[in-house]
Chains A and B, each alone.
Chain A
Amino acid sequence: MRILIVEDEKSLASELKQFLEKEEYNCDVAITGSEASELIAINPYDFILLDIGLPDYNGLDLIEEGKKYNPEAYFIVITARGELEDKIKGFDLGADDYLPKPFSLLELLSRIQAITRRKFGQKMSIIEFGDFSLDTNKRHLQYKEDGVDLTKKEYKLLSYLVLNKNRILDRLQLTEHIWGDFFEDDYDSNYIDVHIKNIRKKLSAFDKTDWIKTVRGIGYKFEI
């Protein structure tokens, strides 16, 4: 998987690169719009991560160019301007997803993974642990032949943990993923804990294995 990061803040670009390379993506970085324009014309990319607020280039023009030279590429648009208009225009022009700054790197990764799963279909959409199988297309959890009855939020939480297995997810990341970025100040609350408790209860009705580990003071981790 090859990703082009278009971000004029060098410091942020290098963090994105470091994180994505650790996830075994092949990354190029363009600090300016014209640099990005050249790279897009030469290289085939699977993903183009685009900060729409470039000083030297209209970000929306880059999407048009990208669609021309890299028709297969998926665009994830990043902006710190928070303009609703850009969001709508971005989707109109073929941006596939939109992330407002600041976003958690894990959230970015999960958006990339979600698009990838959509792209490769059925094969990648089912994740198994023990005798459980999680179908990310149908948003459904199954134990052997039986369906496990999860609420919408419980499903969202569990799938996020499963998709990021063996990684510590802190409460902030979980809250952001489940409730989005409303002006929410409840990340100290125990809502996540209540949900985890319920998920554990529902899973242990089928299998006593303790999949979800508590990481004290931070959050949770799904261990396989």
Chain B
Amino acid sequence: MKIPQLKLKNQLALFNALSKALIITLLVIIVPWIVSEISIRETDDVLIQKLDQVIELVDSLGIDNYIDMESEFKTFGSYNILKEEYISIEQIENDTLYDVIEFSQRIIENELVDYRVLSYSIRENGNNYLIEIGKSISTIYHFEQNLKRFTFLFLLIVITLTLILDLSFIQYLLIPLDKIIKKLKSTNHPSSFDYSAVKTSTSDFIYLDETIHSLMRKIVEAFNDERDYISNVSHELLTPVSIIQSKLDNILNESSLPEEDMIKIFESKKTLRRLTNLVRTLLMMSRIENEEYILTEKVNLTNTLQNVLDEIEDKIVAKNLELKLKFKAKSFVFPGNDNLLFTLFYNFINNAIRYTDKGHISIETMKENNQFLIKISDTGIGIHKDKIPHIFSRFKNSSETKDSYGLGLALSKKICDYHNIEVEVVSELNKGSVFTLKFPN
């Protein structure tokens, strides 16, 4: 089961609400029981008090005062109009002693009524008498209901109040955490980090904030070191190349050399150029790895594609290839780095041209599942299916005859990863290849 991710604030609120709900549930179960226990005990106390009063009365006035000895039924009964209470005294024959309180039913005026009944036997003038004092359940029940209602109301008020207080306190307490998270979210590049301290009296948050700051300083330091390093490597590698190139240029410029030597020097220049390209490509990849390129330019992809085509179209014409353009999707503005995206499109289209000798190069833009796609297909030599997984690795050649396939595509892949662009390759040997670029929304 996947546990949904929640903010700490919401989790605390949820926990708070759940724990209170649990307390309420418990109380709902327990309170009626307690209340009825209490009310029964209360009733019993009242019954016992009343019994004491009755016994006192009987002692002082004599049993004859209540029971007519001459009558057939030696009983005395008294109840109030609403049958809420009754008291009876009755002469009994046996010697059993009663002293119980229990629930029991009595028929009074042909009506069955539930009572809590206290039965107690006394001995008076040589006879046994049973005194019964009853209190109707409905009055107990009524008392119980009132007690319950009051208790629940009280609980509800207390719980609502604490819930509101707790939630607003959590909210207030976590404001600094929200600020710290906001700060992290708005940092898309180490150099743009906000070092202002978050105001809080919670020591944990102060510690967290300070730790993030010190980590950020370390990241920026590492970033700057890496940038300096790349910049120095670039300088150290390209300066000697530049010196050699200038020397070769000057030699060629003399033009008094025999043709053979001139060709040799030209060949050396070409080799030097290859080295330059290699160094530049590797440096560009390192710079991407170090995230030196900003990704916040609003790049109109169709425009960039068109710029690449303007630059490259005459190569297509020179090779007598047909260029098929199908810009089916509306122009798409993508946050990225224009230079890198230009290089990306250039590399893919340039490759398509390079490996295609007849047929066409087709460039399509489309929207699929709300995603902007650029599809670059050719009718060229294609890629063997065993080699497709390796075409984006550095220095792995797809074609043994041409020497620079590997690094160009490795750079393209880097640019794609940097922009979160997905690349899909479909290719068939001697039929052609299709490269699809899928842009994130």
Contact = CB atoms under 8 A, between A and B. Distances in A.
Contacts of B71: none
B273 to A, nearest CB: 6
A184 B255 contact: no
Interface in A63-122: 80-84, 100-106
B249 A12 contact: no
A11 B242 CA distance: 10
B156 to A, nearest CB: 65
A154 B404 CA distance: 27
Interface stretch (B107-115, B121-129, B176-184, B230-238): B230-238
Contact of B314 (A18, A106, A191): A191
A187 B280 CA distance: 16
B277 A80 contact: no
B58 interface: no
Interface in A157-202: 167-168, 170-172, 179, 181-188, 190-191, 194-195
Contacts of B390: none
Interface in A1-38: 9, 11-12, 15-16, 18-19, 22
A151 interface: yes
Contacts of A15: 243, 246-247, 249-250
A9 B250 CA distance: 17
A105 B277 CA distance: 18
Contacts of A179: 311
A123 interface: no
Contact of B252 (A12, A168, A186): A168
A105 B244 CA distance: 11
Interface in B308-324: 310-311, 314-315, 317-318
B243 A217 contact: no
A184 B312 CA distance: 11
Interface size class of chain A, counting residues whose CB lies under 8 Å from the partner chain: 35 or more
A80 B242 contact: yes
Contact of B242 (A12, A185, A188, A218): A12
A216 interface: yes
Interface in B261-278: 262-263, 266, 269-270, 272-274, 276-277
A81 B112 CA distance: 107
Nearest to B315: A191
Contacts of A190: 318
A53 B231 CA distance: 10
Nearest to B273: A172
Contacts of A139: none
B65 to A, nearest CB: 117
B259 A12 contact: no
A144 interface: no
Contacts of A12: 239, 242-243, 246
Contacts of B347: 183
B318 A105 contact: no
Interface residues of B, number: 51
B238 A172 contact: no
B408 interface: yes
Nearest to A81: B231
Contacts of B276: 102
Contacts of A183: 277, 280-281, 284, 343, 347, 408, 411
A212 B255 CA distance: 17
A5 to B, nearest CB: 11
A16 to B, nearest CB: 7
Interface in B386-434: 403-404, 408, 411
A105 B249 contact: yes
Given A104-B249, A105-B250, A9 B270 contact: no
B224 interface: no
A213 interface: no
A101 B272 CA distance: 12
B263 A185 contact: no
A153 B311 CA distance: 9
Interface centre among A11, A185, A186 (most CB of B within 10 A): A185
Given A179-B311, A217-B259, A217-B266, A106 B242 contact: no
Interface string A129-172: 00000000000000000000001110000000000000110111
B244 to A, nearest CB: 8
A139 B36 CA distance: 105
B308 to A, nearest CB: 10
A81 B266 contact: no
A115 B132 CA distance: 126
Contacts of B269: 170, 172
Question: Which 10 residue pairs of A and B lie closest in terms of their CB atoms, listed nearest first?
Answer: A102-B242, A15-B246, A194-B318, A80-B238, A101-B242, A105-B249, A217-B263, A185-B404, A102-B245, A81-B231
Given A102-B276, A186-B350, A218-B263, 4 more contacts: A80-B237, A81-B234, A102-B245, A217-B262
21 contacts: A9-B242, A9-B243, A12-B242, A15-B247, A15-B249, A19-B253, A22-B253, A80-B242, A82-B234, A101-B238, A101-B239, A102-B244, A102-B276, A105-B246, A105-B249, A181-B280, A183-B277, A185-B274, A188-B270, A195-B318, A218-B266
Interface of B: 231-232, 234-235, 237-239, 241-247, 249-250, 252-253, 255, 259, 262-263, 266, 269-270, 272-274, 276-277, 280-281, 283-284, 293, 310-311, 314-315, 317-318, 339, 343, 346-347, 350, 354, 403-404, 408, 411
